[in-house]
Amino acid sequence: MIEVKGLTKRYRDRAAIEGLSFELEEGDILGFLGPNGAGKTTTMRVLAGFLPATSGSAKVAGFDVFEQPLEVKRRLGYLPEQPPLYPDMTVGSYLRFCAEVKGIASKGLKAEIDRVARLTRVDDVLGRVIANLSKGYRQRVGLAQAIIGSPPVLILDEPTVGLDPLQIIEVRDLVRDLAASGKHTIILSTHILQEVTELCRKVLVIKSGKLVDFDTIEGLRSRHVDGKELSLEEIYLRLIDPTGELRHRPAEGATPAPQTPNADAGSAESAPQSAGAPSPEPAPAGAGAETTSSDGEPPTKAAAN
Ligand SMILES: Nc1ncnc2c1ncn2[C@@H]1O[C@H](COP(=O)(O)OP(=O)(O)OP(=O)(O)O)[C@@H](O)[C@H]1O
Ligand SMILES: [Mg+2]
């Protein structure tokens, strides 16, 4: 259902993802993991057709993401990090707009809007202006637009971020229901490993834009034992910080520990990232590279998905 081969995305001289390859079958639910700045959002935007790749190929539902983007968008629901909402629209008119863009026939439009609104529990705010909604409700509206038309592939970039505990549970339940329906192949990026354990069958870990591991959760567990079964959190930390160096870094201002001559410290790969305590991303090579407009993304495109 999803085929990614040698996918590379560069921002000027900085590779956000490099030579990424993986395949997902129909019905797979993938937990997409990696430290801040690892390249998860970049990968998802490329797959969703919102960002051109530098090289490599990607197919979604049998269609080439770069050569047949409209076919892909018809079969894909995407919840970006920042949901593509129009603040001046009401929830109902926004969902109607999204449904029309997705090509839902006018006959079934109202029923489809009611269905996704009920599922994401925004049916009580359909008449409200998006700008006045709380963050949690906006996130749910973002989810609603992603699942309009029941697309076979869903790409959800940190869908529970910023939600209160009750809403987190609701969104997880919703993703679980979508997964259980067997109708969707889902890529879910998150920093909450419990979410992955609860919802996903497979896990892909990237670091500094490169694939670190890709397997089923059972497969990962069977390869990472240490006298006892390890939790996904322990396995994840081993994968992204194999030497434990990042976890045991001295706090800022503390006296630095003496350096071991052969320690893998200071490599560009490992220096700026930490799983336990997210650290700032490395600065971009050139300030001019840090623009979304350079990727040719008009805001209308985002809303059109
Ligand atoms: N428009 C851009 N211009 C330049 N560099 C960018 C741009 N977008 C992302 N990057 C860089 O690409 C790398 C990957 O970023 P990305 O947002 O994909 O990471 P992520 O895994 O989603 O991180 P997070 O967990 O914080 O959401 C980072 O180093 C980031 O600074
Ligand atoms: Mg991200």
DSSP the chain: -EEEEEEEEEETTEEEEEEEEEEE-TT-EEEEE--TTSSHHHHHHHHTTSS--SEEEEEETTEETTT-HHHHHHTEEEE-SS----TTSBHHHHHHHHHHHTT--HHHHHHHHHHHHHHTT-GGGTTSBGGGS-HHHHHHHHHHHHHTT--SEEEEESTTTT--HHHHHHHHHHHHHHHHTT--EEEEE-S-HHHHHHH-SEEEEEETTEEEEEEEHHHHHHH-BSSSBPPHHHHHHHHH-TTSTTTTPPPTTSPPPPPPTT--TT-TTTTT--SSS--PPPPPSSGGG--SGGGT--HHHHHT-
pLDDT at residue 284 in the model: 40
The pTM (predicted TM-score) of the whole model is 0.80
pLDDT at residue 170 in the model: 85
Residues 47 and 155 reside in one and the same domain: yes
How much of the chain exceeds pLDDT 90, in percent? 55
Total tally of structural domains belonging to the chain: 3
- Tell the residue nearest (CA) to atom 17 of ligand 1: 41
pLDDT at residue 288 in the model: 36
Residues 34 and 115 reside in one and the same domain: no
Residues 124 and 46 reside in one and the same domain: no
Residues 274 and 222 reside in one and the same domain: no
Give residue 47 CA to ligand 2 midpoint distance, Å: 14
Give residue 152 CA to ligand 2 midpoint distance, Å: 22
Answer yes or no: is 36 within a domain.
yes
Q: Give mean pLDDT, residues 74-79.
A: 93
Pocket test for ligand 1, best of 17, 40, 187 (most atoms within 8 A of CB): 40
Give the structural domain span for 282. 245-304
pLDDT at residue 256 in the model: 52
Q: Give mean pLDDT, residues 270-293.
A: 38
- Tell the residue nearest (CA) to atom 7 of ligand 1: 290
Pocket test for ligand 1, best of 8, 36, 41, 189 (most atoms within 8 A of CB): 41
Q: Give mean pLDDT, residues 37-42.
A: 96
pLDDT at residue 162 in the model: 79
How much of the chain exceeds pLDDT 70, in percent? 81
